[in-house]
C-alpha cells in the first residue's frame, strides 16, 4: 500500500513550514535514516529523515513552497515490492500516512539547483491545538480564515471535538453555525485591525516597498499580540550598582586558563545577569511558576530563556538549570547557543519552554525598557545599560556604575509583593556578586 508522506510537526507549536529543498528525487530508493528534505520553521531549519524503506514515487509539494500546513500530503512512497507507477497514480487516496520521523538541525548547504525536483517528505504528528478555547487542525484554521468564518462558531467532529477540514467545508457549504458570542464578536475588530488595502491607501503609490512577512515575523507578531491581550502585565523597576560586579568580572576573566592559546572563557555582564536571576528564582521559588487555567505550575528547575537578535527577528535559547552552572559554563553555553541561533541551527528543545527570561538591550545604550512576557513564562527581566550616575552614599554625592532593570510579571501568577521580592533578590546578587560564587 502506498505510504502518504505528510508535512511533519517538528515542534509542539508548529502549524506550518516551508519546504526548503528536497534531497531525494522521484524514483530514488530510500531507506530508514535517509535525509529526505529540509524544512524551515519560524525558528530553525530541520532535516527530516525517513523511517521506512521504499521508492519515492511522487513529489506533491515543490521545493521552495512556503506555509505548508502540518499534515498536508507532500509526497507518496511506494513500499518494498510495490509498483511505483501505481503508487504515484494513487494520488494519495490510500491512507497509511507514515514515513519521515526524526528531525535535526540541517547543516549549511548551498541552494538547490534550478533543476532540483519538486518534492517533500513527511512524518505523522498530531496538529497543535489552535488555542485554549478552540481546537482545530492547521488546515481547518486556514480554510476558516480564507472563508472568513469564526472557528468558535463551528462544531468539531474530530477526536475530542477537534475541528477538522470536513467541519469547515460543511460550514462553508451552508452548514449550521453556532451563534456568535459577545466575546468573539467584540474580539474580532481588535484582532483584525485595519485591512491591508486600507493601510496602503494612506500612502502614495510608489513611496513604499512591500516586503512579505516570513514565518518568523508572523509568529513573533502573533505571540506578542497574544501575550499583551491575554497576560496582565505588571512592571517593577530597580537600579543596581555594578562596581563590585565589574571588579569581580575583571578578576574572573584575568584568571581564565588558556586553551589552544585562547582564554577558556570570557564572562560578560549578561552572564552575571543570567546567573543572578537564576539565583533569585531559587531564593524566591514561588515566582518560578507558570499560570494555567486549571493550576499553577511550580517548577523544580530554573531554565532561563535569553533573547538573541537574529536576522528578521529574535529567538530565546534556553539555559537549563542555570542556578547550578558556573559563570564560565553559562558564558560558553550562551556563546554557542547565540551562534547557532543566528544560523537557525537550534533544536526545538533548545529554545522551547523555560521558566523565565532575560532581555538585554544595554549594549545598544538603552537605559530602560519593559519587555513583553514570552508565554509560558510568568516573568521576564529587561536589562538596560550600565552607566556612571551620581548617587548618594552616607549623605554624600558620589559616582557609581548603575544599571536599571525592569521585571515584567504575569500578575495572575506573580503579584506585586512577590515580584518585588524577586527583583530585590536579583539586585542583592548583582550588588554582591561573590554570593553567586559560593
Strand partners, 179: none
DSSP string, 10-49: -STT--EEEEEEESS-TT-EE-TT-EEEEEE-SS-EEEEE
Which residues are catalytic, by number? 411
Q: How many CB atoms lie within 10 A of CB 430?
A: 27
76 CB contacts (<8 Å, ≥6 apart)? 2, 3, 4, 5, 57, 58, 60, 87, 88, 90, 91, 92
Chain centroid, CA 122 distance in Å? 21
Chain centroid, CA 71 distance in Å? 20
Cis-peptide into 147, omega within 30 deg = no
Per the listing, cell 515580584 goes with 419
The answer to whether 87 and 96 have CB atoms below 8 angstroms apart is: no
Say how far apart CA 40 and CA 296 lie, in whole Å. 34
Say how far apart CA 3 and CA 75 lie, in whole Å. 9
Three-state secondary structure call for residue 329: helix
Give the CA dihedral 138, 143, 145, 148, nearest 10 degrees: -150
Three-state secondary structure call for residue 241: strand
The answer to whether 25 and 78 have CB atoms below 8 angstroms apart is: no
Amino acid at each position: 500500500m502506498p505510504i502518504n508522506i505528510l508535512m511533519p510537526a517538528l515542534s509542539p507549536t508548529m502549524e506550518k513550514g516551508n519546504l526548503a529543498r528536497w534531497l531525494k528525487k522521484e524514483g530514488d530508493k530510500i531507506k530508514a535514516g535517509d535525509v529526505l528534505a529540509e524544512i524551515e520553521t519560524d525558528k530553525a531549519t530541520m532535516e527530516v529523515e525517513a523511517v521506512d524503506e521504499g521508492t519515492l514515487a511522487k513529489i506533491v509539494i515543490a521545493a521552495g513552497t512556503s506555509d505548508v500546513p502540518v499534515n498536508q500530503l507532500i509526497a507518496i512512497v511506494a513500499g518494498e515490492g510495490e509498483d511505483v507507477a501505481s503508487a504515484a497514480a494513487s494520488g494519495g487516496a490510500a491512507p497509511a500516512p507514515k514515513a519521515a520521523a526524526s528531525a535535526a538541525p540541517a547543516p549549511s548547504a548551498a541552494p538547490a539547483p534550478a533543476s532540483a525536483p519538486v518534492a517533500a517528505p513527511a512524518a505523522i504528528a498530531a496538529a497543535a491545538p489552535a488555542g485554549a478555547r478552540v481546537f482545530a487542525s492547521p488546515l481547518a484554521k486556514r480554510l476558516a480564515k480564507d472563508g472568513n468564518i469564526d472557528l468558535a462558531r463551528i462544531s468539531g467532529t474530530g477526536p475530542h471535538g477537534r475541528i477538522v477540514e470536513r467541519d469547515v467545508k460543511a460550514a462553508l457549504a451552508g452548514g449550521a453555525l453556532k451563534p456568535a458570542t459577545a466575546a468573539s464578536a467584540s474580539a474580532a475588530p481588535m484582532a483584525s485591525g485595519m485591512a491591508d488595502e486600507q493601510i496602503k491607501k494612506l500612502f502614495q503609490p510608489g513611496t513604499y516597498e512591500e516586503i512579505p512577512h516570513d514565518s518568523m515575523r508572523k509568529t513573533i507578531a502573533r505571540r506578542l499580540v497574544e501575550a499583551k491581550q491575554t497576560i496582565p502585565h505588571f512592571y517593577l523597576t530597580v537600579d543596581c550598582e555594578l562596581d563590585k560586579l565589574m571588579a569581580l568580572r575583571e578578576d574572573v576573566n584575568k584568571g581564565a586558563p588558556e586553551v589552544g592559546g585562547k582564554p577558556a572563557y570570557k564572562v560578560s555582564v549578561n552572564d552575571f545577569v543570567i546567573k543572578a536571576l537564576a539565583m533569585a528564582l531559587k531564593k524566591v521559588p514561588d515566582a518560578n511558576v507558570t499560570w494555567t487555567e486549571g493550576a499553577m505550575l511550580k517548577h523544580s528547575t530554573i531554565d532561563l530563556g535569553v533573547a538573541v537578535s537574529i536576522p528578521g527577528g529574535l529567538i530565546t535559547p534556553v539555559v537549563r538549570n542555570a542556578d547550578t552552572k558556573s559563570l564560565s559554563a553559562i558564558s560558553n553555553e550562551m556563546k554557542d547557543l547565540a551562534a547557532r541561533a543566528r544560523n537557525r541551527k537550534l533544536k526545538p528543545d533548545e529554545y522551547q519552554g523555560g521558566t523565565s527570561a532575560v532581555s538585554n538591550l544595554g549594549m545598544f545604550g538603552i537605559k530602560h525598557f519593559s519587555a513583553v512576557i514570552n508565554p509560558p513564562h510568568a516573568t521576564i527581566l529587561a536589562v538596560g545599560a550600565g552607566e556612571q550616575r551620581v548617587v548618594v552614599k552616607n549623605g554624600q554625592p558620589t559616582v557609581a556604575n548603575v544599571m536599571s532593570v525592569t521585571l515584567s510579571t504575569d500578575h495572575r501568577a506573580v503579584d506585586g509583593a512577590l515580584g518585588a521580592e524577586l527583583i530585590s533578590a536579583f539586585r542583592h546578587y548583582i550588588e554582591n556578586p561573590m554570593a553567586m560564587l559560593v
